[in-house]
Amino acid sequence: MSQTSIAQASKLNSRLGAILRSTSGNFLEQFDFFLFGFYATAIGKAFFPSESETASLLNTFGVFWLGALMRPVGAITLGAYIDKIGRRQGLIVTLSIMAVGTVVIAFCPGYATIGIAAPLIVLFGRLLQGFSAGVEVGGVSVYLSEIATPGKRGFYTSFQSCSQQVAIFVAAVLGYLLNELIPAETVAAWGWRVPFFFGCLIVPLIFFLRRTLEETPEFLAMQKHPTAREVFTSALANWRIVLLGMMIAILTTTTFYFVTVYTPTFGKNVLKLSSQDALLVTLLVALTNFIWNPIGGAISDRIGRKPVLLTIAGLALVTTYPALYWLVSAPTFAKMLGVEMMFSFYFGTYSGAMLGALVEIVPKHVRTTCFSLAFSLAAALFGTFTPFVSTWLIGRTEDKASPAFWLMFAAVLGIIGALAVYPRTPKPSRVKKPLPLGRALPQSSREAAGVLCR
């Protein structure tokens, strides 16, 4: 083998290793998030007992959503820290906070043992997880974008979402085995904690992987890194970018939480399918999500972000209700799998393009903060609210297909956001350059930060 081939192989292995180490924390985040949604019924009985199963579920999903409300707080606080101190050190801090929240939920005694303290402790654990998750997605996406080879930013950043699909796949496999090996009564009583314990056991390995990360050359090349105050000021000045970025990200977050976190509950409680069927569908969805994400990113690298975003959002708008109506009219495993595969295609392809777009439209020197804030707002106000809204819509309208209205609303916002960011189709040579949207800071602030806002 020639020296050139050896050098190329070494660079490839180095990049693959960097992708694995940076996305490992995303694995833990989504692993725990999915478990919370899949075992929502058991968690509701353990920590939020109620005579009404719907009320218990709403309480559980309510805590799930309250944790998500901490994401924007984490995006601003930890995002400013990462933009100032570095991508590597910041990702280690976010992992530490996430790990604490995971351990708290896994080992918290139930309501029957410690009373009202149980739901309060679980809420505390979810708040910690939400605070950390607020910057985890943005921090990893920015890291991947900054180590990407030229012309492949969408492809590289898509692996942030791919790591989450691996987490869901592993969690679904564990849940499937658990249901096969342990009686349903035992799973409901305490067996649901086993996958959470597994999440605790892999924390040391993820810490080891994160500690071996190298700082990105792009961050090291910056002549000056902004202070936290300068980051906050710049993020505020670029509120329009953050708002439009949030609108673009909403379809990703709502579809994702519908096909992963809410699908097991939807399959069992609404469609009355078996737990094994719901888990198998979720497992296959995670697999196809993993495939579609890099494909969507690569296609958007090739033809531009705008065509991919508008095409998928348009398809979601016109097909979501008919698909769900067809499913709930006579539920079967095959029909549920087919509908979820359609949503998986929408999510994966759109997400692959969206992540690259979001990295590119935010100002470089506050990239982590603005990216994380936009995505966290989309997740907190829409994405993680999806299980709660879906449960409420079905209860209020008695239409089992009514969650479609929530997803269709997200598609409309995605179309508006994409059209605002890309108001006209650029020439091929300029396909990756969206219209600058940010407002410039006062001259003194620009000089202090050492860069201009877009």
Q: How many Cβ atoms sit within 10 Å of the Cβ of residue 6?
A: 10
Q: What share of the chain is helix, strand, coil (3-state, %, to 5)?
A: 85, 0, 15
Of 33-37, 224-228, 279-283, 308-312, the range with the highest mean pLDDT is 308-312
Q: What is the pLDDT of residue 450?
A: 35
- Give the C-alpha separation, 16 to 430, whole Å: 29
For the cut 70, the answer to whether the pLDDT of residue 439 exceeds it is no
For the cut 50, the answer to whether the pLDDT of residue 170 exceeds it is yes
3-class DSSP state of 223 = coil
Q: What is the pLDDT of residue 164?
A: 82
Q: How many Cβ atoms sit within 10 Å of the Cβ of residue 95?
A: 24
The confidence band for 413, taking pLDDT boundaries of 50, 70 and 90, is very high
What are the residue ranges spanned by the domains of the chain? 20-198+232-442
For the cut 90, the answer to whether the pLDDT of residue 81 exceeds it is no
The CA-based angle 133-66-375, given to 5 degrees, is: 40
- Give the C-alpha separation, 403 to 265, whole Å: 13
Q: What is the pLDDT of residue 253?
A: 93
The confidence band for 213, taking pLDDT boundaries of 50, 70 and 90, is confident
Q: What is the pLDDT of residue 13?
A: 55
Q: What is the pLDDT of residue 354?
A: 95
Average pLDDT score, the chain: 81
Q: What is the pLDDT of residue 424?
A: 64
pLDDT digits 0-9 by tens, 10-31:
454 567 777 877 787 778 777 8
Higher pLDDT, 384 or 421: 421
How large is the average pLDDT for residues 103-108?
Answer: 87
Question: Taking a C-beta distance cutoff of 8 angstroms, is the pair 222, 363 a contact?
Answer: no
Higher pLDDT, 1 or 152: 152
Q: What is the pLDDT of residue 58?
A: 72
Question: With a threshold of 0.85, does the pTM exceed it?
Answer: no
Tell me what percent of the residues of the chain surpass a pLDDT of 90. 25
For the cut 50, the answer to whether the pLDDT of residue 325 exceeds it is yes
SS (H, E, C) 281-298: HHHHHHHHHHHHHHHHHH
pLDDT digits 0-9 by tens, 220-237:
777 666 677 777 787 788
Question: Taking a C-beta distance cutoff of 8 angstroms, is the pair 250, 240 a contact?
Answer: no
pLDDT digits 0-9 by tens, 49-68:
776 666 777 777 777 777 77
- Give the C-alpha separation, 244 to 370, whole Å: 11
Question: Taking a C-beta distance cutoff of 8 angstroms, is the pair 154, 353 a contact?
Answer: yes
The CA-based angle 451-453-454, given to 5 degrees, is: 125
Spatial neighbors of 22 by CB under 8 A, at least 6 apart, are 91, 140, 143, 144, 210, 213
Higher pLDDT, 434 or 181: 181
Instruction: Write down the H helix ranges in 148-202.
Output: 153-181, 184-186, 193-201
The CA-based angle 85-376-255, given to 5 degrees, is: 140
Would you identify the CATH topology of the domain 20-198+232-442?
Growth Hormone; Chain: A; (1.20.1250)
Q: What is the pLDDT of residue 454?
A: 37
The CA-based angle 199-203-204, given to 5 degrees, is: 145
Across 31-35, 43-47, 78-82, 417-421, least confident range: 31-35
